[in-house]
Structure 1
Amino acid sequence: AIGFSRYEVGMISIAVAEIATNVIRYALPGKASIRTICAGKGIEITIEDAGTGIPDIDAAMVDGFSTHSEPSIGKGLGAAARSVEEFIFNKSDLTGTSITLRHFLKPVLDDTEVSVKSFPAVNAFFNHDQYIIKPFHAENLLVALSDFREFGAQSSSYASIFKTVVESNYMDSLDTLLQKCQLALRENNGKYLSQTLLMKVFPDRFEVIRCGNIGLYVGSEVIQRKPIDPSLFLLNGEVVTNGSLVEVFPRRTETTVLIHSDGISLPNILNMERNTSLDQQTRSLFDLSALDDDDATLLVVRGKYAC
């Protein structure tokens, strides 16, 4: 009713039916609630039961898993989770299980422009800079820029690990998301990523967290705040900080944000013309500021939201 395609309605129905069938068979009484979220651009369904909980949630998420002999309508909770954008266990214990499903209209970023220029160093064949652009929740955006040069010949493999973690956990707070990325890289390679920036773009604000020398401009001025040291970020798997690691900037009318790797050398003050296409401006800035001896990436986000 809020604009989902027939396919999306079918997938949401599969997820709900799978969970509801389990409740009816094994965990009555149960109840379900449904509401729209994100100003009518998403739907949230919560299903609760009075069973004894799921002993091993990880095992239950594997296709075909069941603790009962009767077949389910599909492949279980794993298939249900893949059918919607968000699948959340609120609880699962001896008092029952509560699961929330969320799905959103496909993002249409009418008020946000994004442009990227990224090339390897002169005479180099591989670009160690990697970026991610992920719209979510119909009107928001997650952007990441990282330099994987320190991982050498395997940089593309570790960039893939990083991307998988980001796209699987994008709803986490940025400090938690970065922690998960660093843990995944350390488990696979024994080292942290020292050059990275993660940013979430909302209608009223930008949230940013960064390590190393990834450059950041908000509006026309460079943000000089010292980034966090990745070697201090984790200690025994825990975040180590005396305050918030996340920088928050208000998103004013026509605010422009520039993010760049250390292969870009920009002036301290920038004037972005509004009467020129964003791609043209990004290309011109890149041509003027890219260094020959390093991989260079310039990512620009521009919008028309008012606070």
Structure 2
Amino acid sequence: MYISTQSCHTLAWEIQDEVDLYIIVENVKACAEKFGFTPYDSTLISLAVSEISTNALRYAHGGRVSIQPTLNSKGLEVTIKDHGKGIKDLSLVMQDGYSTTIDSLGIGFGAAARLVDEMIFDHNSDDGTTIRLIKYLPVPDNYLDIGVVSFPDTRELLNGDGYLIKKYEGDKVLIAILDGAGHGAKAQEATQQTKNIIAENYKLPLDQILHKCDTFLRKIHSGRGVELGLLRITSTYAEFSGIGHIGVHSNRESHLSFPMQNGRLAWALPKKILMTRYSKPDHFMIILHTDGIVNNNFHTFYDFQATAQSIAVDLFNQYAQSDDDATVIIVKG
């Protein structure tokens, strides 16, 4: 048995028998750990590869497995190509419990997809199926310092504001801040429905996310509009797009300026949604807040020695209005 000690700059193995399967799974696990994945995550990756590779051997005349870093070098990409006759119904084989003995893959697809971040069908025809399994390292805890405080109007039990923080692909973070029109249960429902759409589409361009949220709220005839700000931070850039009265401020030294547009999702969306992008500064602080935070001068809060959470608490305590839902998010990098 051969277990690779090389770095994962593309390694490949043929799938011809059960011994090959064992070697492949052990090599993938060893490569993942060497790349920086925890033993637990390395096991998840190897299990996903085992599921697909086993089916390639049993039902698709074998194939080939290769592993390499992702384009951003923050994860691993495993490609499995089989020699079968393709998959007629991809949606069917993704269902749990589905199996087949036809000359194609068909067992464990759903399980394999849940073990990794992405499962992509690159090729599916009568000369075989090619599947890519992608798993990213977690975004490091020190990548960004983020603090959040969010509370409802003191007269209400439910918060019409909301926020979402999605870390992905090893070096990207999407931060959403939402303000449902009005207060109480209906405002909270509109905000939660919008958060669900963002969570399903977080990788899309910001303007497309806004359009999808607007379309969904109009489709369900939501009686409440939603104001929304979207901030994406990557290893190379910071970008923002927002509709409504969401506040967005940054320290002067960062030279970041993110304009908002008038409007409200499900009520009035601008014909052209603006997106602003800058190269990511070495040091920056961004303050996002809903209209329940009232202050025109945030200069005194740009303290790079304090934690983001302590700044958020201090700002909220000083400027949150008791008669409105209020949310503040501090992002430091």
TM-score range normalised by the length of the shorter chain: 0.7 to 0.9
Q: Report deviation, 1:76.
A: 2.1
* C-alpha distance after superposition, 1:109-140 (max 9, x if no partner): 31421111111123222211111122223332
Deviates more, 1:41-50 or 1:250-259: 41-50
Asked if residue 34 in structure 1 is aligned to residue 67 in structure 2, the reply is: yes
Match among 296, 303, 322 for residue 273 of structure 1: 303
**Do residues 175 (structure 1) and 207 (structure 2) align?**
yes
Q: TM-score, normalised by structure 2?
A: 0.75
Q: 1:277 to 1:83 in 2, by over 3 A?
A: closer
Larger mean CA deviation between 152-161 and 265-274 belongs to: 152-161
Unaligned runs of 5+ in 2: 1-33
For residue 259 of structure 2, what is the aligned residue in structure 1?
Answer: 224
How far off its partner does 1:141 sit?
A: 1.5
Structure 2 partner of 1:138: 170
Q: Structure 1 residues 298 and 43 mapped into 2: Cα distance closer, same or farther (>3 Å)?
A: same
For 1:132 and 1:248, the matched residues in 2 are separated by: 20
Q: Which aligned pairs between 1:11-30 and structure 2 lie closer than 5 A?
A: 11-28=44-61, 30=63
Q: Compared with structure 1, are the counterparts of its residues 223 and 178 closer, same or farther at alpha carbon in structure 2 (3 Å cutoff)?
A: closer
Kindly state the Cα deviation for residue 155 of structure 1 after the two structures are TM-superposed. 4.6
Q: Which residue of 1 aligns with 2:40?
A: 7
Count of matched residue pairs: 296
Deviates further, 115-124 or 219-228 = 219-228
Q: Deviations over 1:65-102 (max 9, x none)?
A: 234379x89x6211111001122233434554332211
Please identify, of 125-134 and 13-22, the stretch whose mean Cα deviation from structure 2 is larger.
13-22
Aligned residue number for residue 237 of structure 1: none
Over the residues paired in the alignment, what is the CA RMSD in angstroms?
A: 3.3
Match of 1:100 among 132, 135, 143: 132
The 5 Å alignment of 1:142-153 reads 142-149=174-181, 153=185
SS in 1 for 2:146: strand
Partner of 2:31: none
The aligned counterpart of 2:94 is: 61
Cα distance in structure 1, aligned partners of 2:274 and 2:130: 32
Residue 44 to residue 245, structure 1, CA distance change in 2 (3 Å) = farther
Partner of 1:282: 312
1:94-243, aligned counterparts within 5 Å?
Answer: 94=126, 96-149=128-181, 153-190=185-222, 193-220=225-252, 223-226=258-261, 230=265
- Fraction of identical pairs, as percent: 32
Contact 1:38 1:137 in 2 (8 A): no
Q: Secondary structure, in 3 states, of the residue corresponding to 1:203? A: coil
Q: Render the CA deviation track for 1:211-252: whole Å, top value 9, x for unaligned.
A: 222221233476334256645999xxxxx955x643212321
Residue 158 of structure 2 contacts residue 184 of structure 2 at CA under 8 Å; is this kept in 1?
no
Q: Distance in 1 between matches of 2:89 and 2:118?
A: 20
Cα 1:104–1:293 change in 2 (3 A) is same
Distance 2:39 2:88 in 1: 35
Cα 1:149–1:8, aligned 2, differ >3 Å: closer, same or farther? same
| Structure having greater relative contact order (Cα 8 Å, sep ≥ 6) | 1
Deviation for aligned residue 1:301: 0.1
Is contact 1:218-1:256 (8 Å) kept?
Answer: yes
Distance 1:31 1:228, change over 3 A: farther
Task: State the one-letter code of the partner of 1:59.
Answer: L
Counterpart in the other structure of 1:44: 77
Q: For residues 327 and 78 of structure 2, what CA distance do their matches in structure 1 show?
A: 41
Residue 207 of structure 2: SS of its match in structure 1?
helix
Shift in CA distance, 302/227, structure 1 to aligned 2, threshold 3 Å: farther
- Work out whether residues 250 and 287 of structure 2, in 8 Å CA contact, stay in contact via their aligned partners in 1: yes
Q: 1:139 to 1:126 in 2, by over 3 A?
A: same
Using the alignment, how far apart are the partners of 1:245 and 1:176 within structure 2? 11
